[in-house]
Structure 1
Amino acid sequence: MGLLQLNLQFQLLMQYMKRGIMNILLSVSGSIACYKSFDLVRLLIKNGHQVRVVLTNGALRFLKADLFKYLGCEEVYGPEDDFNLQKTEQMESSVLHVELAKWLDKLVIYPASANTISNLAFGRAEDLLSSIFLAKREDTQTIFFPAMNTQMYLHPITKENINLLKRLTNSGKTFICPPKEGELICKDKGVGKVRDIEEAAILIETLSFNEKKKSILITTGATIAPIDPVRYVTNPSSGKTGFALAKDYLSLGYKVKVIAGIYATKDLEKLKLNPDFDLERVTTTSDMLESVKRNLNNYDLYISSAAISDLEFSYEETKLKKSQLLGSIPFNKAPDVLKYVIENKPAHLKTVGFAAETELNEKTLNEKWERKPVDLLVGTSVHSGAGGKKIEGFGVNECHYKIFKDGKIEKDLTLLKSDLSKLILEELKW
């Protein structure tokens, strides 16, 4: 790899490292679930965000504020810190709630108790959180994660308070994440459990309120070629690339649908809280083709990152005996999903193809591109690890890519899968 290529790769990595970093103000209110906020803070900081915490009086009944500092939090504020000179002396203004309202990119209330929801809905500026809530900019993104007993959550007053928050705080910038169902601390079973921290973190990072709303259709993971009810042929594709692309495009404000192989990463399920995300799982290559046919005309960009099986067998309804498997098993060529897309796509649709190869070179990529002339071809170096070789491409977080466009390799670099999304948009000038 030449010096120029290394310099380009370094610049891209630095650019992507800065992308998506936010100032997150996390408010913790009085709920037995507030202990989970420790792990949420740790995860958000690990992901590179700047995190500050505001506690309500109720939260202080359950936990110690200093613990957040030990976890790497920039600052931790109590409900009365608007009047704490030590907290305000280093700020441009002595008005803490105004400074914090200007600083934050997203206001997250996790967990959000019934009392806190009520106070904010009625605009009671009685503590630091409620004052920040009134002082925040109109474009501030606010996410509530309710946690309470089922009857409290379903009570008409709570429902009205939630609706009031949506109406009065510009519903396009406020999102109330519905709680989970399950066994509550009181041993009741029902809705009211706060969302798990990984679900919450992904929603915080991907929820976008901008007005782009272009739409992207992504295929990912492996399809399978069933032989009988217990045997099938497939490949090691995990669907991690599709997950990384979907996560990043949601955060940029795009609507995203993923058509995934049935065994693709379960992380895709964690994106389902985002209202701009849709997930459909399919089994065979024919299933994937039918889903693509149904959806193709509704999207602006199609990304074919799936490792689609190119074989199909004559399926047997009962398990084959070993004696029947000896010798060869007849097979047919599976439908070519990307070829169908190229031949039937609407004029406005941009297309991105992936070429998974053990040997990446310009000749191989050009042959693939001539057969299926996508707008952008992403060559990916892959190996299953068979024969003692190093695993490449499948189930790992980093890959060697060759970006092929207009008949030649434009870029040759190694990237995290999570850094590929913006590179694709840049190459498409989208």
Structure 2
Amino acid sequence: MSKDFFIAEKERQANSVHVLLITTGSVASVKAPLIVTELLRYRNVRVEVVASKPSLTFFSQDDIVKAGSRVWTDDDEWVDEYKIGDPILHIELRRWADIVLVAPCSANTLAKIANGLCDNLVTSLLRALAPTTPTYVFPAMNTLMFEHPLTAEHLRVVREVIRYNVVGPIGKALACGDTGLGAMTEWKDIVKVVVDSFDLTPLIKYA
């Protein structure tokens, strides 16, 4: 990880919107390439993806790269050649971000956020975020996991204590075969959160 990259990005893209997409261990992570592709169809938008290890089960990093972004993982955080004074990835990423989308947010990551855990790149980054950084959490889990009493408490802490914006989940047929509340908000509606927040305009493509 190069600190120079983030410095250059901030300087070169001073007028751009920096979107940090975080994916966690829910099957809804399969939508990550679609979210990235759609966001990059808007003018002056840059996207970086931070993926928990379980989330990589559901999408190809190559698809993110083809869309014009990249994927950061735990393996990028503390490299063998790290020395005191070197840039720290979760700090550089949170400095870079103008808006953070946790899409999807699994029950496990939701519990970690609510209890302040910092045991991977995703949770360390979230713990390091400035309170002024707009952060949206899109829960996605099995219906009974969503209805578990601890989930309601975790969502309360995320909303009322940490002050993140929680959107969803929605009710539909789930990938596990159950039908009920627990599916991630539709991916196009997630993109719309960013578009509306920054009044983005689409790129014009000439034939």
Question: TM-score, normalized by length of structure 2?
Answer: 0.82
Amino acid across the alignment from 2:53: N
Partner of residue 103, structure 2: 110
Aligned runs of 1:12-31 on 2, under 5 Å?
21-31=16-26
**Greater helix content:** 2
- Alpha-carbon deviations, 1:89-142, whole Å to 9, x = none? 9xx952111111111011111111101111111111111111111111120111
Q: Does 1:69 align with 2:65?
A: yes
Amino acid across the alignment from 2:67: L
Which 4+ stretches in 1 moved above 3 angstroms? Answer: 18-21
Q: Which sections of structure 2, spanning at least 5 residues, go unmatched?
A: 1-12
CA contact (8 A) 1:143 1:204 kept: no
Look up the SS of the partner of 1:160 in the other structure.
Answer: helix
Partner of residue 52, structure 1: 48
RMSD: 2.6
Look up the SS of the partner of 2:49 in the other structure.
Answer: strand
Look up the SS of the partner of 1:181 in the other structure.
Answer: strand
Partner of residue 243, structure 1: none
Q: Which sections of structure 1, spanning at least 5 residues, go unmatched?
A: 1-17, 209-247, 252-396, 398-415, 417-430
- Alpha-carbon deviations, 1:395-415, whole Å to 9, x = none? xx9xxxxxxxxxxxxxxxxxx
Distance 1:80 1:167 in 2: 32
- Alpha-carbon deviations, 1:220-246, whole Å to 9, x = none? xxxxxxxxxxxxxxxxxxxxxxxxxxx
Partner of residue 138, structure 1: 131
CA contact (8 A) 2:33 2:59 kept: no
CA contact (8 A) 2:32 2:59 kept: no
Query: Which one has more relative contact order, counting CA pairs under 8 Å at least 6 apart?
Result: 2
- Alpha-carbon deviations, 1:42-62, whole Å to 9, x = none? 001111310000010211233
Distance 2:166 2:55 in 1: 20
Q: Highest CA radius of gyration, 1 or 2? A: 1
Question: TM-score, normalized by length of structure 1?
Answer: 0.41
Q: What is the aligned-residue identity percentage?
A: 28
**Greater strand content:** 1
Look up the SS of the partner of 1:110 in the other structure.
Answer: strand
Aligned runs of 1:68-217 on 2, under 5 Å?
68-73=64-69, 75-84=70-79, 93-169=86-162, 171=163, 174-207=164-197
Aligned residues between the structures: 188
The Cα shift of 1:64 comes to 3.0
Partner of residue 32, structure 2: 37
Amino acid across the alignment from 1:176: V
Distance 1:20 1:121 in 2: 33
